[in-house]
Amino acid sequence: MNPLLSVEGLHVDAAGARGAAPRPVLRDVSFALQPGATVGLLGASGSGKTSLALAVLGLLPPALTARGRVFFEGLELLAASRGARRLLRGRRLSMVFQEPLTALNPRMRVGAQVAEVARAHGERESRRAMRDAVVMMARVGLAEADVQAYRFPHELSGGERQRVLIAMALLLDPALLIADEPTSALDVTVQAQVLALLRAQQRERGMALLLVSHDLGVIATTCERTLVLHDGSIVEDVPTRQLLAAPEHSQARALVAAVRPVGRSA
Amino acid sequence: MSALLELRDVVVDYAPHNGRARAVDGVSLDVAHGETLALVGESGSGKTSLARAILRLVRTASGTIRFDGADVLALSGSGLRQFRRRAQVVFQDPKASLDPRMRVGDVVREGIDIHALAPRSEADRRVERLLQEVGLSAADAERFPHEFSGGERQRIAIARALAVEPEFLVLDEAVSALDVLVRQQVLDLLASLQAARALTYLFIAHDLAVVERIATRVAVMQHGRIVECAATATLFAAPSSGAAQALLAAIPRIPW
């Protein structure tokens, strides 16, 4: 089976300030994702997790430059035109970000923001776009979706806002969902609900999921395989069970120890 | 041993434009000298409101709060100033709680000056020692908060709280914004400071996994009330309230 996503020798560099040498953010990162796979990307703050997600999405800020190759459904994304990438994003390749309040437009009703995804990908009938948006919002567990769709982001709770973003990401049935710390801004009980939703949607759709987090607890309950990122390099790429049982790299051991129950050693 | 902090039927009300909201609804609780009492609950359960009432940062509608025997709600003048020195707080987000325009040394030093705890030359040395005690260096006094990582900023906030030699620290989601590795380092720091300085902690968190690592006892809040209060091991082994069970169930179950 051909991989859905294949990252080969990806480097990302941050431009140096005032003529200083560029600083490496990602160093020679390679991995592949099969259709329907659930893979966690685990690393501490500053390890390069978010840069990796943004590089795959083609959303790196101007100060960061990517080298290497990123194949998605056969298309090499780093060489592809902006238009070609835009055609994929939101349709075949979707994302959910950490902080739903900053990811949503504060002046636009949430239903219209979900519908906008369909409109951006060619749906001309605005009523149909809105209807599809409401159906999707209901499917991701937003209570009274037909009413909530007409609310503004600030009128929803953090968990409800994250459901809106997930509805937006899933609307066009993507082959890959990249979720960057989707629950870090949420309280633990809401986090559990959102993770359950992501798992259920991933299974139901056979969609691949790349879940980015610093918290192995979040990844271990959701992903079959885990990549550990440390200082811009992938230091482990193993089944999650194996990582839990026998982490090899020192950084992986530290991340495992940080979530191991008290009084329980490796 | 008598309790350092005693709360009896504490009520906190807020008055939004459309009526009255009761954030804390009759809380009674004791915190013993030297223990770490964790206060847990979902967002909106009243944890922070209760902490703010204890520190006299919000008005208490009714009830009594006693700190080391003294009636906190009746304090004024020098008595209140003394209480503010003895009871300190570390907030969740050090980015918001540290003045971006003040050098770290001045941030830590401000309380020492306000409470006139040391003459000028001695204060500088104290600031240096405090920074070293929380794992930073004396030279960091000259730098600004934005030059530090999230974990380092939280260490600065802890040094500031310790500068006035408090006995009681409210840690309001003090490690929630930190990544798991940095969180563990700050928890280790808090534990060693508690042992060295005989501190009493009120540790507020929504995440029980963190609480298990640091708390002596756990009080569970829901809708403004304490619905359960037990030794940490007891609560984790046999939670009796629905709220505690829900919080425990929410901890990601890792298939070890």
Dist CA A106 CA B113 (whole Å): 43
Asked if the C-beta of B252 comes within 8 angstroms of chain A's C-beta atoms, the answer is yes
- For CA atoms A234, A237, A241, A244, the dihedral sign is negative
Residue B11, CB-side half-sphere exposure with 13 Å CA sphere = 10
Put simply, the answer to whether B43 touches A187 (Cβ < 8 Å) is yes
Put simply, the answer to whether A44 touches B182 (Cβ < 8 Å) is yes
Q: What pTM did the predictor assign? A: 0.83
Return all residues near A14 (Cβ < 8 A) that are at least 6 apart: A22, A23, A24, A25, A63, A64
Strand partners, A65: A13
Dist CA A236 CA A227 (whole Å): 6
Q: What is the average per-residue pLDDT within A98-117?
A: 93
Dist CA B194 CA B199 (whole Å): 5
- Asked whether the predicted pLDDT for residue B44 surpasses 50, the reply is yes
Question: In a 3-state reduction of DSSP, which class is residue A69?
Answer: strand
Please list every residue in chain B whose beta carbon sits closer than 8 Å to the beta carbon of residue A190.
43
Q: What is the average per-residue pLDDT within B20-48?
A: 94
φ/ψ of A228, rounded to 5, equals -105, 125
Helices A188-205 and B242-250, packing angle to 10 deg: 50
Q: What is the average per-residue pLDDT within A71-92?
A: 94
Put simply, the answer to whether B179 touches A192 (Cβ < 8 Å) is no
Amino acid identity at B231:
A
Question: In a 3-state reduction of DSSP, which class is residue B229?
Answer: strand
Q: What is the average per-residue pLDDT within B32-48?
A: 94
Put simply, the answer to whether A216 touches B254 (Cβ < 8 Å) is yes
Tens digits of per-residue pLDDT, A149-172?
999 999 998 889 999 999 999 999
pLDDT at A69: 97
Asked if the C-beta of B179 comes within 8 angstroms of chain A's C-beta atoms, the answer is yes
pLDDT at A262: 63
Tens digits of per-residue pLDDT, B189-237?
999 999 999 999 999 998 888 899 899 999 999 999 999 999 999 999 9
Asked if the C-beta of B183 comes within 8 angstroms of chain A's C-beta atoms, the answer is yes
pLDDT at B92: 87
What is the pLDDT confidence band of residue A46, given thresholds at 50, 70 and 90?
Answer: confident
pLDDT at B78: 94
Question: In a 3-state reduction of DSSP, which class is residue A189?
Answer: helix
Put simply, the answer to whether B208 touches A191 (Cβ < 8 Å) is no
ipTM over 0.90: no
Question: In a 3-state reduction of DSSP, which class is residue A23?
Answer: strand
| Distance between B26 CA and the closest CA of chain A, angstroms | 24
pLDDT at A266: 43
- Asked whether the predicted pLDDT for residue B120 surpasses 90, the reply is no
The DSSP 8-state label assigned to residue B148 in this structure reads S
pLDDT at A263: 55
Lowest mean pLDDT among A113-117, A141-145, A183-187, A253-257: A183-187
Q: What is the average per-residue pLDDT within B136-143?
A: 95
φ/ψ of B220, rounded to 5, equals -105, 125
Dist CA A151 CA A148 (whole Å): 5
Mean pLDDT over all residues of chain B? 93
Put simply, the answer to whether B255 touches A218 (Cβ < 8 Å) is no
Please list every residue in chain B whose beta carbon sits closer than 8 Å to the beta carbon of residue A260.
256
Dist CA B46 CA B53 (whole Å): 11
Interface of B with A in 204-223 (CB under 8 A): 206-209, 212-213
Higher pLDDT among residues B15 and B37, named by residue = B37
pLDDT at B187: 94
- Asked whether the predicted pLDDT for residue B252 surpasses 70, the reply is yes
Tens digits of per-residue pLDDT, B2-24?
799 999 999 999 987 667 789 99
* Distance spanning both ends of chain B, measured CA to CA: 41
Please list every residue in chain B whose beta carbon sits closer than 8 Å to the beta carbon of residue A258.
180-181, 183-184
pLDDT at B1: 55
Dist CA A209 CA A203 (whole Å): 10
Q: What would the two tokens of residue A146 be?
A: 């037909």
Put simply, the answer to whether A189 touches B208 (Cβ < 8 Å) is no
Neighbours of A108 (CB within 10 A): 12
Number of Cβ pairs closer than 8 Å across A and B?
A: 72
Percent with pLDDT over 90 in chain A: 80
The nearest alpha carbon in chain B to A217 belongs to B252
Put simply, the answer to whether A44 touches B179 (Cβ < 8 Å) is yes
By Cβ distance, the residue of B209, B247, B255 closest to A189 is B247
Strand partners, A31: A7
Percent with pLDDT over 70 in chain A: 98
Interface of B with A in 87-146 (CB under 8 A): none
pLDDT at B162: 96
Percent with pLDDT over 70 in chain B: 98
